[in-house]
Amino acid sequence: MLVPVLVDAAGCEWSLLEFQGELLPSGGKGALDLQGVDIGTLRFGHAGVLTLRIGTHVLTGTVQTLPKPFAILHKSDASHAMDGTTDGSVGAAAAQVQYEVVGIARTRVVFASRPKPVLA
């Protein structure tokens, strides 16, 4: 089976964030969906040190190069009408899966230490 993959030449450069633990969204939503949720504030410091502030916690991390780049894919389902089937009927829909490369991740930010609390 061949899966069509679209590559955008002007794809964005991405980085992976690697840390231990769980991210649970605050709010009364029953689902654990993090899409569109602001996680925190990421700041670039001196000497390649990054800080990520999530609520009242601060994590410090460093940037590392990945051994192999990762492709960031977006999956979409497209329905196309078939030209005809063996019995001659027209209009039977066939589902086709398509992947689009939206970015390439060549670096990762590793937060190896435990979060430090911030006093308000």
* Residue 28 in domain: no
* Residue 69 in domain: yes
Is 92's pLDDT higher than 80? no
Is 84's pLDDT higher than 60? no
Is 58's pLDDT higher than 90? yes
| pLDDT confidence of residue 5 | 59
- Distance (Å, rounded) from C-alpha 79 to C-alpha 48? 47
Write out the DSSP string of 47-92: GGEEEEEETTEEEEEEEEEEEEEEEEEEEEEEEEE-S--TT-----
* Residue 30 in domain: no
* Residue 83 in domain: no
| Structural domain total, the chain | 1
* Residue 1 in domain: yes
* Residue 25 in domain: no
Q: What is the pTM of this model?
A: 0.65
> Residue 12 is part of which domain span?
1-18+43-78+92-112
Percent of the chain with pLDDT over 90: 22
